Chain A
């Protein structure tokens, strides 16, 4: 864990769970693995607060526990899963994706499960139906079966999965017996559980009805707290969302580089191989051109010979999104996932250099990426940039560590007069460097936002109080004069200050969202290189 990653984790935990959880979490990240007593002793927090914090972290899947180094007889050890903490940055994107795929119901289901970490199907369905009914006009209600069907769709497409059971407690044990815990070093993958995506049979009868007389909703269901799925908890399957985002990135890249129709073809290919391709595969299953043609939606209006032309265009493109692996069935085509990710990461790096140092430095950077190793003189010649400026730009890039010097000795004693010094760019380490920069950026953005909020705390509290007063006055039916009188309690300069504060905070928040997109891309690329080794 790098310093920037630890700092970002701490800030995210503090935002969502408070200072206590932040202290516990940061200390646990720094120490690696700890047991409860050691954690309480080292953080100097009361034991109960530490217990509560650990409960919150375990509930949200950010902390795992298991039998420690002394075996099952020793104390339980806890460890934080940092990747999970970083996912908190991406929650709005998950919720938005669920909304675009499954509508408002899907959005609320995913939002509820993200807020609570793990939930049973029945409680999710009830809460979501409550919220939907609350927003509907009088007289309408949300049927449980609709919510259940959207939930099932989410599970079928693997966006939601069951939480993995504790390894030894396979059946629903009474919990009173002290079951031995799994070893902390081998986390049980949720996918290993055979029932990972099996829906339980739940017994939720009835539906909510809105009482016409009051604004409260009356629940008319069979009132039993247990609905047949006790002990089966569901969590969001982040990996599936990430695959979806990766596919989206590839499709949008194709549509930018080529055109809309080719992106539709790639979208069809990816959709067909959704279920057959494992998560870390380098390329999708081979699909024949005939299959692709059959699977293409008729709305795209692509004829068979046009499809063949598009496919050959995609194969010939230097970005290598699509590759041809055979000739049977009209040609066997695959989408090169890892290569696409590498190209997207490379484009990100190039764009970063361009935006920070100018287009000529970007030219040098691209040159070095393509030609691998170049001497000083060769850089000047190939980039067609005068020597002095080229030198300047190279040194600036070198000082930022985006470009490295490689020594090639002619003699074994590395004498400088007899050594080649070549400039080079390595894509993977540079991507890692940029990823750390991104983490630092998000940390800075969050801290700045907290600072802005703290500076204007008095003003924010005043405006909240006035809004509350206004709301209560309006509820009791006050006259317009009273309302304007209350509104005038905020002076005009204060209003302007509030407006600019809101503007700043919105800007900082959107920046976080946008940096998170870059983080996702770089992280996917880095993970893809690790998976193939």
Chain B
């Protein structure tokens, strides 16, 4: 439409109010500045008890949310070189389970994360010691092993309930994660062999008299 009439200018700016020969403001050839100078200064913020209280509420809420289990942190980044001891170090707490217990009846089933077997501290640690003691009667050993195995399963299921994780009813035991005891079976060294010295010096407050090497 704009160029059809030969030589006729179809849009006359007089209509919009710009007279002939009037100088228009210069056209801008660069993007507007990031912080342009303001002709009108903005109105000051509201102050008063209500505004300050709400400010405090906001900051407290933000701080509180960071401590709640709903704040999900990404997994820790990998170290530069894979070390042999990584395989035997304790897996960090950023595991697959949620730190809070949702009511799974209100969630779709597929969101339920497989729970790791918790480290069975008191029950399981007794087990290998008891198996080491009697070397006399092989049958006794086998029987004891079986009873202990059963106790282990009950004990671990009790522990799971006690630790606020719902018992997996018919679901297969799935991927058992390695835990410390099984590590111990695989290597010939005790677990503290693989300490990389990060916790060294932490107990220095207790015994100042002894020289620390």
Residues of A within 8 A of B57 (CB): 91-92, 95-96, 111
Report if A18-B10 is in contact (Cβ < 8 Å); known contacts: A76-B110, A355-B42, A509-B59: no
A111 touches B61 (CB 8 A): yes
B212 interface residue, CB < 8 Å from A?
no
Q: For the complex formed, measure the closest distance between the CB of B18 and the CB atoms of chain A, giving whole angstroms.
A: 7
Count of chain B residues near A, Cβ 8 A: 48
Residues of A within 8 A of B71 (CB): 16-18
Report if A355-B107 is in contact (Cβ < 8 Å); known contacts: A51-B113, A52-B98: no
Residues of A within 8 A of B75 (CB): 46, 49
B131 interface residue, CB < 8 Å from A?
no
A173 touches B107 (CB 8 A): no
A17 touches B17 (CB 8 A): no
B12 interface residue, CB < 8 Å from A?
yes
Taken residue by residue from 1 to 15, chain B's Cβ proximity to chain A (1 for < 8 Å, 0 otherwise) reads as: 100000000111001
A59 interface residue, CB < 8 Å from B?
yes
Residues of B within 8 A of A91 (CB): 57-58, 61
B16 touches A65 (CB 8 A): no
A21 interface residue, CB < 8 Å from B?
yes
Instruction: Tell me which of A267-275, A283-291, A415-423, A479-487 binds B.
Output: A415-423
Contact pick for B15, options A76, A387, A419, CB 8 Å: A419
Q: For the complex formed, measure the closest distance between the CB of A103 and the CB atoms of chain B, giving whole angstroms.
A: 14
Taken residue by residue from 93 to 107, chain A's Cβ proximity to chain B (1 for < 8 Å, 0 otherwise) reads as: 101100000000000
A53 to B108, CA, bound (A): 13
Taken residue by residue from 39 to 59, chain A's Cβ proximity to chain B (1 for < 8 Å, 0 otherwise) reads as: 000000010110111111011
A175 interface residue, CB < 8 Å from B?
yes
Residues of A within 8 A of B59 (CB): 509
A231 touches B103 (CB 8 A): yes
A187 interface residue, CB < 8 Å from B?
no
Residues of B within 8 A of A95 (CB): 57, 61
Contact pick for B65, options A20, A115, A163, A166, CB 8 Å: A115
Contact pick for A166, options B40, B106, B110, CB 8 Å: B106
For chain A, residues 493 to 523, give those with C-beta under 8 angstroms from any C-beta of chain B: 506-507, 509-514
A173 to B12, CA, bound (A): 75
A15 touches B62 (CB 8 A): yes
B17 touches A376 (CB 8 A): yes
Report if A49-B72 is in contact (Cβ < 8 Å); known contacts: A173-B105, A415-B10: yes
A513 touches B55 (CB 8 A): yes
Q: For the complex formed, measure the closest distance between the CB of A471 and the CB atoms of chain B, giving whole angstroms.
A: 16
A163 to B105, CA, bound (A): 13
B102 touches A55 (CB 8 A): yes
A391 interface residue, CB < 8 Å from B?
yes
Contact pick for A514, options B12, B46, B98, B169, CB 8 Å: B46
| A60 to chain B: closest residue by CB | B70
A357 to B42, CA, bound (A): 11
Contact pick for A58, options B10, B42, B53, B107, CB 8 Å: B107
A20 touches B53 (CB 8 A): no
For chain A, residues 386 to 409, give those with C-beta under 8 angstroms from any C-beta of chain B: 387, 391, 394, 405
A512 to B16, CA, bound (A): 40
For chain B, residues 39 to 78, give those with C-beta under 8 angstroms from any C-beta of chain A: 39-40, 42-43, 45-46, 50-51, 53-55, 57-59, 61-62, 64-65, 68, 70-75
Q: Is the interface of B mostly helix, strand, loop or mixed?
A: loop
A54 to B55, CA, bound (A): 29
Size bin of chain A's contact surface: 35 or more
Taken residue by residue from 324 to 336, chain A's Cβ proximity to chain B (1 for < 8 Å, 0 otherwise) reads as: 0000000000000
A175 touches B15 (CB 8 A): no
B109 interface residue, CB < 8 Å from A?
yes
| A172 to chain B: closest residue by CB | B105
B84 interface residue, CB < 8 Å from A?
no
Report if A513-B40 is in contact (Cβ < 8 Å); known contacts: A15-B62, A92-B61, A175-B104: no
A176 interface residue, CB < 8 Å from B?
yes
B96 interface residue, CB < 8 Å from A?
yes
B45 touches A514 (CB 8 A): yes
Residues of B within 8 A of A18 (CB): 71-74
A106 to B57, CA, bound (A): 14
Residues of A within 8 A of B51 (CB): 510, 513-514
A20 to B71, CA, bound (A): 9
Residues of A within 8 A of B45 (CB): 507, 510-511, 514
B61 touches A181 (CB 8 A): no
A19 interface residue, CB < 8 Å from B?
yes
A54 touches B72 (CB 8 A): no
Residues of A within 8 A of B112 (CB): 51
A509 touches B70 (CB 8 A): no
A53 to B105, CA, bound (A): 18
B111 interface residue, CB < 8 Å from A?
yes
Report if A416-B55 is in contact (Cβ < 8 Å); known contacts: A19-B74, A65-B108, A233-B103: no
A55 to B98, CA, bound (A): 9
Report if A92-B109 is in contact (Cβ < 8 Å); known contacts: A48-B96, A355-B42, A421-B15: no
A356 interface residue, CB < 8 Å from B?
yes
List 6 extra interface pairs beyond A17-B72, A53-B72, A58-B106, CB under 8 A.
A20-B73, A56-B70, A165-B106, A173-B105, A178-B109, A357-B40
Interface residues of A (CB under 8 A from B): 15-21, 36, 46, 48-49, 51-56, 58-60, 65, 75-76, 91-93, 95-96, 111, 114-117, 163, 165-166, 169, 172-173, 175-176, 178, 181, 231, 233, 355-358, 376-377, 387, 391, 394, 405, 414-417, 419, 421, 506-507, 509-514
Could you name 22 residue pairs across A and B whose Cβ atoms are closer than 8 Å?
A17-B65, A19-B73, A36-B111, A49-B74, A51-B112, A52-B72, A60-B70, A76-B108, A91-B58, A92-B61, A93-B54, A95-B57, A115-B61, A116-B68, A169-B105, A231-B103, A355-B40, A387-B17, A416-B15, A421-B16, A514-B45, A514-B46
Interface residues of B (CB under 8 A from A): 1, 10-12, 15-18, 39-40, 42-43, 45-46, 50-51, 53-55, 57-59, 61-62, 64-65, 68, 70-75, 96, 98, 102-113, 169
The 9 closest A-B pairs by CB, nearest first: A92-B57, A376-B17, A175-B105, A416-B11, A92-B54, A92-B58, A76-B108, A16-B65, A20-B72
